[in-house]
Every structure is written in C-alpha cells, then in structure tokens.
C-alpha cells in the first residue's frame, strides 16, 4: 500500500493568519472593509453559488450587509486562490474571510437554500473544502465549549474567535481537536479486515477505527484498537496519511497494519458485531451488495488504497459512524 493522496477534507488554500487574528479590533475592522467576505453557517449547513449537485459547487461568500444577524463570528483567514464571488465575478487572492454562525431564526431570514455538504463536498475546490472543514470544526467547538472547565462560568470569544476566556479566573481555552486512528489491516494473503457495527445497516462494512487515549502514541492506539475490536494482534504498522473530520472536531490518522498469522477473528460484541477478511476479487464481486464508506472519508481512501484503484461511483455508501470517519 502506498501513501494516501491528498484526501478531500485535507485540502486547503487559506492563510489562517495566526498573527493577524490576535488583534482585538480585527473583526470590527474587517466588517468595515468592502472587500471582506462572510460565510454563513447554520447547523452544519451552508449556502452555495449554484446547486450542491452541480459540477464544482462553490461556497457563497457574501458582504457583511448580507449576513448582518448572527450568534458569533470567527476570522478564518485570507484566500490563497481565487474563487467565485457572490455576484458571479472573481474574488481576488488575499480576500479576508469571516465565518458567521447563525441561529435557526437568523438562517430563516436569509434568502436561498441551505445545503449539507456531507456527501457533495467531494467536488469542492481546495479553498472551499478547507473553509468548510475549518468552519465546521471551530463552530462545533464554540457551541460545545461555552463554559469554563474550571469554574463553570460563561466564557467569551477572543483572538477573533480562536480562543475563549473565563471572566472569573482569566483562564484561556483553545479549540479542541480529538485525535483518532483508522487502520487498514491485512493478513498474510493480503486480504483486508472489515468490521460492522451492531447499529449499522445490514451489510455495511468499514475498516477499524477509534480514538487515541490519554498518554497513548498513535501506533499504540492502532495496536490496541485492532485487538479490542477484532482480537487480532498486529505486527508491522505504517502511517499513510491524515484528514480532519469536523463531526464534531476529530483529526483522523490513517494507518496500514499487518496481522500476525494464525489468529481467529473475535468481534468485541459491543461495538463491532461482525468481522470478515475480504480479498480484492471478493470485493469486486460484491460491490453491488456492500455498503461502504462514502468518498469524503479517510476510510474510503484506505480501502481504495488497498484495492489499488478508486471504487466505482455507483457503490452504495453511508457517512455515519464512530468516530465519525467510518
């Protein structure tokens, strides 16, 4: 297996401007600039230029006046590639982009449709894929970390939305990212190990995955998760690539691992209820019946990397699952 290519949500064409975001007046100054563009987000939904199903959809980036009511905002950075502006013209490189997160009522007040890109983000440009992924992750963090972990007081955003501070004990809290591993395990016949969760649809399969525990290395997490979920001990472990997964704020580390010979598959019976080894010939023959990870996920990338070529677009897929990338 080779290193993974650049995965759909690992793309980016944005200067996050980590120095500029520390200016306490930045968001106010940006709102007064006609060149600043705003991305509206509501419950993981965004608005687009055109249709979500069209070839190469683009995010709708609007002037401040078009998204005047919002719950909170975050400075995302400056564009490193041109894109389509709200009026159909070209938006210049270096344009500052600000995320504005809306309530249901605020979203309803805007014209235009809202889209969930969980399935269609595969067609986004590097700039839009990075903006969408970054926006989801930072918005999810703000919405779930509004109180001080030490005293419980309500915190307030700082650093243009990239930290929060407690007004009582002055504690500063930064965005959380949860590391998780996902692994393509093969045996001595180069068959791939697939597992199925009890809560999944019939005949839905994916590679094994799990969160990294406190004080644990990535390689140790691979070995532990594979053994816990399948009863299989692995030897050789190799890192293949990574991808953020902002559902809500994970970072997936993809690996391949080789199972030690002579072991029986033993699903844990709680999370994983079915396991199987599958050859390339068997996967080819069963493509019409298997429900596999969607093309946005690193799980799909690992399976295709082992398979040796992209899976047909007609393959049935599903996007749910733990830890958000199966």
In a domain? residue 54:
yes
Report the percent of the chain where pLDDT is more than 90: 86
How high does pLDDT run on average in the chain? Answer: 93
Query: Domain holding 298: CATH number?
Result: 3.90.79.10
Evaluate whether residue 130 is within a structural domain. yes
Q: Which of 251, 255, 192, 187 is nearest to 219 (CA)?
A: 255
Domain span holding position 274:
178-308
User: Quick one: pLDDT at residue 318?
Assistant: 67
- 134 with 12, same domain? yes
> Is residue 128 located within the same domain as residue 198?
no
- In whole angstroms, give the CA distance from residue 279 to residue 285: 10
Three-state SS at 67: helix
Q: Which of 115, 95, 119, 141 is nearest to 9 (CA)?
A: 119
The total domain count for the chain is 2
Answer yes or no: is 326 within a domain: no
- Partnered with residue 184 across adjacent β-strands are 256
Assess if residue 320 is contained within a domain. no
pLDDT at 52 over 60: no
Q: What is the pTM (predicted TM-score) of this model?
A: 0.92
With cut-offs at 50, 70 and 90, classify the pLDDT of residue 314.
Answer: confident
CA angle, 134 then 246 then 185, to 5°: 130
95 neighbors 36 (Cβ within 8 angstroms): yes
Q: Is the separation of the CB atoms in 232 and 272 below 8 Å? A: no
Instruction: Give the per-residue pLDDT at 320.
Output: 46
Quick one: pLDDT at residue 145? Answer: 95
* Cα–Cα distances in angstroms (integers) from residue 58 to residues 123, 132, 135, 138, 276, in the given order: 9, 10, 15, 20, 40
Q: What is the rounded average pLDDT of the residues 124-149? A: 95
pLDDT tens digits, 200-252: 998 999 999 999 999 999 999 999 999 999 999 999 999 999 999 999 999 99
pLDDT computed for residue 292 by the predictor: 95
Asked if residue 228 and residue 120 are part of one domain, the reply reads no
| pLDDT of 322 over the 70 cut | no
The average pLDDT across 151-176 equals 96
Q: Tens digit of pLDDT for each residue in 289-305? A: 999 999 999 999 999 99
């Amino acid at each position: 297996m080779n290193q993974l290519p650049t995965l759909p949500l690992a793309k980016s064409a944005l200067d996050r401007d980590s120095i500029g975001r520390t200016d306490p007046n930045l968001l106010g100054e940006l709102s007064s600039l006609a060149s600043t563009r705003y991305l509206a987000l509501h419950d993981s939904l965004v608005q687009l230029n055109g249709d979500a199903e069209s070839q190469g959809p683009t995010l709708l980036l609007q002037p401040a006046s078009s998204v005047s009511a919002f719950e909170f905002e975050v400075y995302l950075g400056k564009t490193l590639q041109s894109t389509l502006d709200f009026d159909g013209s070209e938006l210049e490189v270096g344009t500052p982009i600000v995320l504005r997160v809306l309530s249901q009522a605020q979203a309803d007040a805007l014209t235009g449709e809202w889209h969930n890109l969980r399935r269609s983000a595969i067609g986004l440009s590097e700039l839009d894929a990075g903006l969408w992924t970054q926006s989801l992750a930072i918005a999810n963090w703000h919405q779930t970390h509004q109180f001080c972990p030490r005293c419980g007081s309500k915190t307030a955003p700082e650093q243009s939305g990239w930290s929060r501070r407690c007004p009582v004990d002055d504690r500063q809290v930064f965005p959380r990212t949860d590391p998780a591993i996902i692994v393509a395990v093969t045996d001595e016949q180069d068959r791939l190990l697939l597992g199925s969760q009890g809560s999944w649809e019939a005949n839905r399969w994916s590679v094994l995955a799990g969160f990294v525990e406190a004080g644990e290395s990535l390689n140790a997490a691979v070995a532990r998760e594979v053994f816990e979920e399948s009863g299989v001990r692995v030897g050789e472990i190799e890192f293949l690539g990574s991808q953020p997964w902002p559902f809500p704020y994970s970072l997936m580390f993809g690996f391949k691992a080789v199972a030690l010979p002579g072991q029986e598959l033993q699903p844990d019976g709680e999370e994983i209820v079915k396991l199987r080894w599958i050859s390339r010939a068997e996967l080819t023959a069963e493509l019409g019946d298997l429900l596999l990870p969607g093309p946005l996920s690193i799980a799909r990338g690992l399976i295709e990397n082992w398979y040796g070529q992209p899976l047909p677009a007609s393959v049935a897929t599903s996007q749910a699952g733990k830890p958000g990338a199966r």
